């Protein structure tokens, strides 16, 4: 993980957003731990810079999930069975992807535990991340609220960020998220990209090898030209179900 390059890429991509208050939002981000925080305590990218890497991964996953409407990539179609169910401005794609987890700023702290050093056989104190939420306001809604303190969101962006956890959102009663997705399909696109990033692209301390090489800052997120990914990501398979037959 190239943390410096990730910060540069984030700032370059965000600078494409033309919206009042962006400078104040970026000021919040730079003063916070957004660039250094992990993405989780143990599930994915539980390492320094993990949250930023995850945010960029969601942008890449989302842009490759959607279909560019024009060559400039200023708008994207969310296509279902050949029909667009949503047309999404690139600015919304950037904002929703890069800021959906801004709720994780001021959220983690470092603790210490004893662990055996496999090489020396000695027990040592090693750091690990735990949650110490300084603004306990939930998850998706909290991200939307933090952004809206500095910069307006379109209705579609707010819904997408608010409900980006999809059906796993702890406040979902089984109906409301379905209703929200029908109104704003972008919610499902962001949720899918979020799942793609955390489940397919990310390991504990870095992206999985197939996704290790970041696209150029101006890239729409294509990995197709990267020979390392030409065969797709390599996952460890479980034995086939008929292995014992």
Residues in the chain: 245
What minimum distance in Å lies between the beta carbon of 234 and Fe ion? Answer: 23
Nearer CB in complex with Fe ion: 39/86: 39
Of the pair 48, 194, the CB lying nearest Fe ion is at 194
The crossing angle, in degrees rounded to 10, of helices 155-162 and 176-183 is 150
Does the footprint of Fe ion cover residue 101 (CB under 5 A)? Answer: yes
Q: Between residues 170 and 234, which has the closer beta carbon with respect to Fe ion? A: 170
In the bound state with Fe ion, the residue whose beta carbon lies nearer, of 69 and 195, is 195
Tell me how far, at minimum, the Cβ of 243 lies from Fe ion, in Å.
35
The span of 22-30, 100-108, 166-174, 199-207 binding Fe ion (CB under 5 A) equals 100-108
Identify which of residues 53 and 86 has a Cβ nearer to Fe ion in the complex.
Answer: 53
Long-range contacts made by residues 66-75, C-beta under 8 angstroms, separation at least 24? Answer: 66/93, 66/189, 68/220, 73/220
Residue 138: which region, alpha, beta or left (left: phi > 0; alpha: psi -120 to 50)? left
Cβ 104 to Fe ion shortest distance, Å? 7
Least separation, in Å, of the C-beta of 89 and Fe ion? 21
Return the number of the residue (202 or 236) whose C-beta is nearest Fe ion. Answer: 202
Residues in the interface with Fe ion (CB under 5 A) total 2
Q: How far apart are CA 63 and CA 211, in angstroms?
A: 15
Subset of 135-164 contacting Fe ion (CB under 5 A): none
Q: How far is CA 148 from CA 5, 25, 39, in A?
A: 27, 9, 22
Site map for Fe ion, 181-200, x if CB under 5 A? -------------x------
- Smallest distance, Fe ion to C-beta of residue 55, A: 7
Q: How far is the CB of 137 from Fe ion (least distance, A)?
A: 13
Beta strands in the chain (DSSP E): 67-68, 75-80, 83-89, 108-116, 123-131
Write out the two tokens for 43. 């599930």
Tokens linked to 35: 């660039």
Sign, CA dihedral 236-130-32-88, equals positive
How many other C-beta atoms can be found within 10 angstroms of the C-beta atom of residue 156?
A: 18
Q: How far is the CB of 96 from Fe ion (least distance, A)?
A: 11
Considering the complex, state which of residue 101 and residue 156 has its C-beta at the smaller distance from Fe ion. 101
160 near 190, Cβ under 8 Å? yes
Q: Which residues bind Fe ion (CB under 5 A)?
A: 101, 194
């Amino acid at each position: 993980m190239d943390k410096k390059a990730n910060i540069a890429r984030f700032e370059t991509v965000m600078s494409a957003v033309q919206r009042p208050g962006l400078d104040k939002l970026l000021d919040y981000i730079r003063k916070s731990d957004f660039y250094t925080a992990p993405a989780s305590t143990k599930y994915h990218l539980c390492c320094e810079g993990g949250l930023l890497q995850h945010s960029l991964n969601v942008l890449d996953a989302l842009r490759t999930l959607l279909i560019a409407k024009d060559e400039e990539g200023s708008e994207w179609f969310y296509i279902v069975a050949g029909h667009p169910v949503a047309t999404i401005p690139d600015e919304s794609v950037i904002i929703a992807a890069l800021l959906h987890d801004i709720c994780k700023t001021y959220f983690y702290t470092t603790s210490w535990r004893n662990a055996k050093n496999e090489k020396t056989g000695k027990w040592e104190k090693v750091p690990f991340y735990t949650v110490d939420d300084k603004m306990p306001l939930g998850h998706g809604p909290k991200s939307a609220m933090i952004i809206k303190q500095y910069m307006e969101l379109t209705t579609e962006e707010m819904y997408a960020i608010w409900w980006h956890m999809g059906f796993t959102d702890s406040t979902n009663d089984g109906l409301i998220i379905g209703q929200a997705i029908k109104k704003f399909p972008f919610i499902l696109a962001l949720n899918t990209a979020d799942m793609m990033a955390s489940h397919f692209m990310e390991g504990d301390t870095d992206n999985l090898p197939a996704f290790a090489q970041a696209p150029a800052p101006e890239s729409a997120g294509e990995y197709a030209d990267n020979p390392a990914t030409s065969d797709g990501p390599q996952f460890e398979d479980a034995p086939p179900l008929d292995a014992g037959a």
